[in-house]
Amino acid sequence: MTDTLTETTAPAAAGTAPPKPRRRLSDNVVGWLEALPLTLILLCFLVAPIIMIVIVSFWTATEFSIIPAFTFENYQYLFGSSVTYRVFLATFKYALITWACTLAIGFTVAYYLAFCIRSQTVQIAMFLLCTIPFWTSNIIRMISWIPFLGRNGIANQTLIDLGLIDQPLEWLLYSDFSVILAFVHLYTLFMVVPIFNTMMRIDKSLIEAAYDNGASGIQTLIHVIIPLTKPGIMIGTIFVITLVMGDFITVRFMSGSQKANVGRLISNDISLLQYPSAAATAVVLLLTVLIVIGILLRFVNIRKEL
């Protein structure tokens, strides 16, 4: 008994302190530390540039210099011009029509890949086939429509040879039609991917249960598939609307510089070295896009999909 007590108290008698238990960081602290690198990147490359754009939008500019003096002149000119409202209206028109076309095409393609093809290998192969056009530059894919839609292009020549028209159609190129066609070509994949991803997560037993209860194909589509696909549709909608409203090069090339959207307003101001005016237009466009996205998020909770 004495030997046991002596062995137990020996380290204390020798002056050695017992080891202190290690303190574990709380889960919240660990989470913040893990998110710190990405937070710093976002602050430096996203938040800081936006703040700088907002600051510059309140400056004024002459033909040769920028004056860092606080003024509302850029916003007063922007909201006081009827051109601004016409351009924003045209931008919304492009976004709305492009969204409707990409949704129709994207939903159809995603539905076919998810429910009509049973083999996963074939699904992956056909999905990769849809991405082949996106292996090239957007500008190359966009410009490729010009010889096809031109006055003496393939489309007009084919229609004339078939006897469907007597003279070339002028509205095929350098018009709203060509602009929207290019938008649909460029951004349809951004609608296909999230919808297809959502459809692949749908439990097939729900569809079988709908058929077992006497539902037709249309009823199953409306009451089962579409409600479960809403998060993917909303993500694709946000992608398409954001990209279309911020695009300017497509409108310039495919309209022959005859049409304009908000992106072209910003591009024109930058080419004239009117950076404060361009910054003010960019701020208004950013707020408009954020409002649209905020309205869309009120209808569907996409956090489940993310």
Give this prediction's pTM.
0.83
> 101 pLDDT band (50/70/90 cuts)?
very high
Query: Does the residue 249 lie in any domain?
Result: yes
> 213 pLDDT band (50/70/90 cuts)?
confident
The pLDDT assigned to 272 comes to: 86
The pLDDT assigned to 238 comes to: 93
**Taking residues 262-279, what's their average pLDDT?**
90
The pLDDT assigned to 143 comes to: 85
Query: Does the residue 24 lie in any domain?
Result: no
C-alpha to C-alpha distance for 238 and 298, rounded to whole angstroms? 13
Enumerate the β-bridge partners of residue 61. 66
CATH code, domain with 239:
1.10.3720.10
> 304 pLDDT band (50/70/90 cuts)?
low
CA proximity to 174, closest of 139, 153, 149, 155:
149
Lowest mean pLDDT among 26-30, 171-175, 300-304: 300-304
* CB neighbourhood size of 75 (10 A): 16
Q: Give the list of residues 6+ apart from residue 275 with CB closer than 8 angstroms, or none.
A: 56, 59, 61, 66, 269
List pLDDT tens digits, range 192-206.
999 999 998 888 888
Please name the residue ranges forming H helices in the chain: 2-13, 27-42, 48-56, 73-80, 82-111, 120-131, 138-143, 145-149, 154-161, 176-187, 189-200, 204-212, 217-220, 226-246, 249-254, 262-271, 275-297
Q: Measuring CA to CA, how many Å separate 165 from each of 69, 145, 178, 181?
A: 60, 20, 19, 21
**Taking residues 94-103, what's their average pLDDT?**
96
Query: Does the residue 192 lie in any domain?
Result: yes
Q: Give the list of residues 6+ apart from residue 171 with CB closer than 8 angstroms, or none.
A: 177
Query: Does the residue 123 lie in any domain?
Result: yes
The pLDDT assigned to 17 comes to: 58
Query: Does the residue 303 lie in any domain?
Result: no
Q: Give the list of residues 6+ apart from residue 41 with CB closer than 8 angstroms, or none.
A: none
Query: Does the residue 207 lie in any domain?
Result: yes
C-alpha to C-alpha distance for 84 and 82, rounded to whole angstroms? 5
Enumerate the β-bridge partners of residue 79. none
**Taking residues 207-218, what's their average pLDDT?**
86
Enumerate the β-bridge partners of residue 60. 67
**Taking residues 51-61, what's their average pLDDT?**
92
Query: Does the residue 135 lie in any domain?
Result: yes
Q: Where is pLDDT greater, at 260 or 93?
A: 93
How many residues are there in the chain?
306
> 5 pLDDT band (50/70/90 cuts)?
very low
**Taking residues 285-291, what's their average pLDDT?**
93
In this predicted structure, the answer to whether residue 2 has a pLDDT above a threshold of 50 is: no
> 1 pLDDT band (50/70/90 cuts)?
very low
The pLDDT assigned to 126 comes to: 87
> 44 pLDDT band (50/70/90 cuts)?
very high
Q: Are 261 and 251 in contact (CB under 8 A)?
A: yes
The pLDDT assigned to 297 comes to: 85
> 22 pLDDT band (50/70/90 cuts)?
low
Q: What does the H/E/C string look like for 101-136?
A: HHHHHHHHHHHHHHHHCCCHHHHHHHHHHHHHHHHC
The pLDDT assigned to 13 comes to: 47
Number of domains present in the structure of the chain? 1
CA proximity to 273, closest of 59, 84, 125:
59
**Taking residues 245-254, what's their average pLDDT?**
88
C-alpha to C-alpha distance for 104 and 242, rounded to whole angstroms? 18
Which residues span the domain enclosing 293?
81-297
Query: Does the residue 35 lie in any domain?
Result: no
Q: Which two tokens stand for residue 208?
A: 């079988």
List pLDDT tens digits, range 141-187.
888 888 888 888 888 899 888 888 888 888 888 889 999 999 999 99
